Each structure stands twice: as C-alpha cells, then as structure tokens.
Amino acid sequence: MDLQLAPKHLEFRDRLRAWLAANMRRPWRAELRDPAATEDGLMEFRRGWQKKLYEAGYLGMDWPREWGGRGAGEVEKAVFEEEMARADAPPILNTLGIGLLGPALIHHGSEEQRRRFIPSMLSGDEIWCQGFSEPGSGSDLASLRTSARLDGDDFVLNGQKIWTTFGPWADWIFVLARTDSKDRYGGISFILCKLDTPGVTVRPLRQITGESEFGEVFFEDARVPRTHLVGRIGEGWRIAMTVLAYERGAMSLAASARYGRDLDRLAAACKEYGRADAAVREKLARLLVENEVMRANGIRTLAYFAEGKTPGPESSIEKIYWSEFDKRFRDAALDLLGPGGQLLRTSPDARPDVDWAREFLWSRAGTIYSGSSEIQRNIIAKRVLNLPQDAR
Ligand SMILES: Cc1cc2nc3c(=O)[nH]c(=O)nc-3n(C[C@H](O)[C@H](O)[C@H](O)COP(=O)(O)OP(=O)(O)OC[C@H]3O[C@@H](n4cnc5c(N)ncnc54)[C@H](O)[C@@H]3O)c2cc1C
C-alpha cells in the first residue's frame, strides 16, 4: 500500500504479512484449481479459514472488543483487506454477516442482539444471508410483499425471497418484511430468522458458472420471536439503507489491489503469448490508469471513514466505478488472451494464473447486485448531485 502509513500501521501490516505467510497453505486460486475441490468442500474450507482469522484477531477490525471485534480503526481494516487481496488469500465465508448485518446491528440493533449475534458471525459459527429481493421487487425494493404479521410474541412470515447469496449455506437470514401494507416505506421491518425454522424452505439456484451460490427462500407461516426484530416496527427501510451503503461503498482499495495483481498476471500472459504490440500496450495501460483512479477513490473514502463518518449515498459512486471497471477489465482480458483465457478451471489446459473465464462470467453480476448501475446513477443524480427530478 502506498498510503502514508504511520509506523504503528506499518508494524501491523508487517505482522499481518508474516501471519499470512505462516498460516495460508496456498493461494485461493490454487485451492479453486484443486481437482478434488467440491463446492461444499470449498465453503467449509472458507468457514475454517474465517475461524483462523477470527482467532488471530483479524476480523471485526474496527468493531468494539466487547462484541468480539479488535477495537482497531478503519486504516487497519483497509490494510487488512489490501493485504488479503495481495496475498490472494481465501475469502471468508460470512461476508454478508460481517459486511452487512454487523453494521446494521451496530447502528440499529439492541445491546442484547449485538452480544448474541456478532461473536458467532465473526467466528463463522453462524453464517448469514440477505433476504431483500423478491420476484418483482429488485430495483423497486420498497414494493416487496413478504409479510410479517404480529401474533402474540411472534411474527408470522409469509412470502418469497430470491437471488439469496449463500442461501443454501447459511444458518440465518436477515429479512425485509412488510408489517403494514399501506405505508410503502414506513411499513417495512427488519427481522432475523433462523433458516431451520418450520415453514422456511431454501432452494438452490444454479448459475452460469456452474455453482449454486445462491437460492430462493420461501416462508409459509414461519414463526419468528418478536425479539428478532432489529430497530422498531416500520424502521426496516432506514436500516436497509445503512446496509446498502456498506454493501456499495468501502471496497475500492481492496478491489484495486486485486485488479492490480490480476493486471500484472494479464501483462505477463500477453508477453508469454507474444502479444505486446502498441494496441495491446494501450489497452493494458488504460486499465492500469483506471485502476489507479479506483485506488484514489478508495483512499478518499478511507479518509472520510477515518474522520468517523459513515457511508451514505456517495458509496454509489464507488459501486458503479468498480463494477463497470470489472466488466471492462474482464472483457479486455478475454480479448487479449484469446482461446487461452476461455478454458474453465476444470480443464487441464486452463491457465494457472487466474480463472479468466469465470471472472468474465462473474463480472456480469457486479452491475446488477446491490442495485444495478442504472439505479446507482439515479441515486447519484438525486441524492448526491441534488439534480431536479422529472415531474412527469
Ligand atoms: C450475483 C447476485 C447476487 C445477489 N445477491 C442477493 C442477495 O444476497 N440478497 C438479495 O436480496 N438480493 C440479491 N441479488 C438481487 C439483486 O439485488 C437484484 O437482482 C437487483 O436489485 C436488480 O433487481 P432485479 O433483478 O429484480 O431487476 P429489475 O429491477 O427487474 O431490473 C431490470 C432492469 O431494469 C432496470 N431498471 C429497473 N428500474 C429502473 C429505474 N427506476 N431506472 C432505470 N432503470 C431501471 C435495471 O437497471 C435493470 O437493467 C443478487 C443479484 C445478483 C446478480
């Protein structure tokens, strides 16, 4: 990292580098290429790796110690994420719990909920998924219809969620549900539900990459204790906005470290194939410059966080930048590598450096999940630039 790191942050980075060197058995791309690797096996591997990181004190970096965090700051968190990317370390399994629900509980949950859910979220003992989207309610999330009716001390949930990442692997889901059918925004509540609750069914969905990382979740008279409501009844939309701001922002630094690493590999592969003419060099140089812009954006956000501010609608700028860049980068890689970049990792002739074909397929998803690029542009226009709205 080229940030002006203070001596204590440099020391933290060096200790982390040494820890990774001693504890990572091999880079993530090698885990993925192992012919014996199965989807189940890789998920369990990620859970075990998460536990190792947690026990070494590297998760919940900026969260208070009383809830199982490290009590450090945003800079340590950014250093951690950048070093993980640089080392090609395996991703943790509970990304949605730690990345999204954690901040929601810290900002809006009760003390009891934080103590109950945060430590097991960090250790990987309880994996979470996000139940926002529904068939017909994606971009227009506030049109969601899954209902939660209060009955004594329980909510009774009915409805369906879709595109639920980690649904087939998770233990819990955080659900946006309608507690009032007449109030579009104020009628939504944020509820935590265990996936083995009677009346809850999870069905895996098969993706174009061949994996089944996401699924559909059905609720049929599923009873959830009222104590699993986060915030107050009708406060779900406000909490969802906190969650989405964390989901969209704060990832440019780690992302640019990953792209930097893959760009080096792409340049080396072009050389190997004897492709180094002016057109190739220009394409690579353009990607390099765009990646530097992303890194600068990430540093700006980090400075913002370091002042104690929380992410707001500006995080849409980061989301749109990295996800659109990802598509350009992965398109360019397939163009430059030709047939060499198109073999899936299961093929014995696949390139060992990066699974270029999978990255290309995955890059289609980034401009859709967590709000499509069109929706991010609408948010930037309305809430960041305060542009006048079309009255039609
Ligand atoms: C890989 C992946 C993982 C996901 N994981 C989860 C998850 O874990 N949990 C979860 O709840 N959801 C998840 N989603 C769902 C995701 O949030 C939705 O797909 C997304 O919000 C878009 O909704 P939609 O698919 O219903 O598309 P639609 O809303 O039907 O949009 C279709 C098209 O219309 C455009 N459009 C819609 N409205 C407007 C508008 N007002 N102005 C301009 N253009 C518009 C969109 O940009 C898009 O191009 C995931 C999606 C993907 C791809």
What's residue 205's pLDDT?
93
What is the crossing angle of helices 74-86 and 252-272, to 10°?
Answer: 20
Distance of CA 236 to the CA centre of its chain: 20
What is the 378 CA–ligand 1 centroid distance (Å)? 14
Asked if residue 253 is part of any domain, the answer here is: yes
Task: Write down the pLDDT at residue 249.
Answer: 62
Residue ranges for the chain with pLDDT beneath 70: 1-3, 249-250, 391-392
Catalytic choice (247, 272, 314, 324): 247
pLDDT score at 335: 94
89-115 per-residue burial string, b: 16 or more CB within 10 A, e: under 16: bbebbbbbbbbbbbbbbbebbeeebbe
Report how many domains make up the chain. Answer: 3
Residue 162 within any structural domain of the chain: yes
Supply the pLDDT for residue 250. Answer: 60
CA-proximal residue: ligand 1, atom 23 (nearest):
138
Same domain for 228 and 291?
Answer: no
Distance CA 204, CA 388 (A): 42
Q: Which of 139, 143, 206, 211 to mutate to test the pocket of ligand 1 (most atoms within 8 A of CB)?
A: 139
Q: Is 247 a catalytic residue?
A: yes
83 contacts 16 by C-beta, under 8 angstroms: yes
What are 262's two structure tokens?
A: 């893959």
Among residues 72, 93, 114, the one where a domain terminates is: 93
User: Which of 69, 93, 117 finishes a domain?
Assistant: 93
pLDDT digits (tens, 9 = 90+) for 182-199: 999 999 999 999 999 999
**Co-location of 217 and 286 in the same domain:** no
| CATH number of residue 190's parent domain | 2.40.110.10
Domain encompassing residue 14: 7-93
CATH of the domain at 331: 1.20.140.10
- CB burial of residue 142 (10 Å; 0-12, 13-18, 19+): middle
Q: Tell me, yes or no, whether 261 and 361 share the same domain.
A: yes
Which residue of 369, 377, 390, 392 sits with most ligand 1 atoms within 8 Å of its CB, as the best mutation to test the pocket? 369
Predicted local confidence at residue 391, as pLDDT: 59
Which residues line the pocket of ligand 1, CB cutoff 6 A? 129-133, 138-139, 163-165, 214, 365, 368-369, 371-372, 374-375, 378
Tens digits of residue pLDDT in 40-49: 999 999 999 9
Last residue of a domain, one of 68, 93, 118: 93
CATH of the domain at 87: 1.10.540
Look at residue 343 in the predicted model and tell me its pLDDT: 81
